[in-house]
Amino acid sequence: MSSYKIFVAGHNGLVGSALVRQLKKNTKIKIIIKEKKELNLIDQPKVMNFFKKEKIDQVYIAAAKVGGIYANNTYPAEFIYKNLMIQTNIINSAFLNGVKKLLFLGSSCVYPKNSSQPMKEQGLLKGVFEATNEPYAIAKISGIKMCESYNRQYGRSHKIDYRCIMPTNLYGPNDSYDLKNSHVLPTLIRKFHEAKLNKKKFVNLWGTGNPRREFLYVDDLAKACVHIMNLKKSIFNKGLNPMCSHINVGSSNEIRIKDLANIIKKIVDFKGDIKWDFSKPDGMKRKLLDSSKILKLGWRPQVSLKDGILKTYLDYKKNYEYYKKNI
């Protein structure tokens, strides 16, 4: 893989920044990144010209519009349009300009609302979606199927190898802490931290606290991405089929949101109480991925939930003023 030029789409985000940290460990790689003002991934001609000019060897697609329940409910048109455009422009432009290796990052949201737990890769398209994230899920599934379709049609003739992984809920440094639009774990960190600063007596949280979620520290995901990207094709394809070639990546552990909140409360050292707003939606009751396939391929998560939350909170405290200005 020496002297390869690798484009990380979405390098400023949670996943993209972790990928850059991981890839920088290999000094023989030239990492290509572009700020939004330099390259708007929704602009098809500009994306095409970028690939023509740069002569990229590998692509990691971590760019996406993401958010929690509130954001998905409030901006459904933006979620489906922007995600479809970003991934379509990158995948097609990469193919037309000779990129042989590409990794597309999806989400556990692609699986149906009533999936059996833990959710297996074969459960894709086997039921209806959770209503709060249907547009996002449809966009991500389109990315999976686009990669599969290009492999099926052009894999032999053009020697391309486009792979997809479905991460569980992620957290870590460089997350979004917008109280309305971010995911549950960073939202909890910010709520407890600011409640502590403001000496509040309690924190209001959405729902019942009973849904269970699985969480993975983002640097563990970045290692999984690089591991999957660089596996030999014969090894990666073993046990997969052309119509179901994506792989789940999770910690294989789940926790109630109520218990997660208490862990974060303790790490932040907030002394007040928690009040649950039962009028707000919970989302899916459980979301646990079956990660047996990637475990068989030699990857293992390294960071425990408590250690990961502590690392994330220390980063949040250190960069609190930055995060406040950039939400």
Task: Output the pLDDT for position 323.
Answer: 82
Residues spanned by the domain of 138: 5-325
List the CATH number of the domain containing 71: 3.40.50.720
Mean pLDDT over residues 152-180, rounded? 94
Whether 2 shows a pLDDT value over 70: the answer reads no
Active site annotation includes 136? yes
Mean pLDDT (whole number) for 317-325: 86
Question: Looking at residue 324, what is its pLDDT?
Answer: 78
- How many domains, in total, are found in the chain? 1
pLDDT digits (tens, 9 = 90+) for 53-78: 999 999 999 999 887 777 788 899 99
Residue 1 above 60 pLDDT? no
Between CA 70 and CA 83 the distance in angstroms is: 17
Q: Please check the confidence at residue 123 and state whether its pLDDT lies above 50.
A: yes
Set 70, 136, 162, 171: catalytic member: 136
Is this model's pTM higher than 0.75 or not? yes
